[in-house]
Amino acid sequence: MPTLFEKIVAREIPADIVFQDDRVTAFRDIHPRAPVHLLIVPNKAIATANDIADADETLVGHMFTVARDLARGAGIADSGYRLIINCNRDGGQEVFHLHVHLVGGAPLGPMLSR
How many angstroms separate the CA atoms of 17 and 57, rounded? 24
Stretch that binds ligand 5GP, among 40-48, 59-67, 68-76, 91-99 (CB under 6 A): 91-99
In the list 52, 60, 77, 95, the residue contacting ligand 5GP (rule: CB under 6 A) is 95
Closest separation in Å from C-beta 74 to ligand 5GP? 16
86-97 in b/e form (b: 16+ CB < 10 A) is: beeeeeebeebb
Per-residue binding string, ligand 5GP, 31-60, x by CB under 6 A, is x-------x---------------------
**Helix (H) or strand (E) run with residue 40 in it:** strand 36-42
Minimum distance, C-beta of residue 30 to ligand 5GP, in the bound complex (Å) = 3
Cα 43 vs. chain centroid, distance in angstroms? 11
Whether 99 is a known active-site residue: answer yes
Q: Which residues bind ligand 5GP (CB under 6 A)?
A: 4, 15, 27-31, 39, 86, 92-95
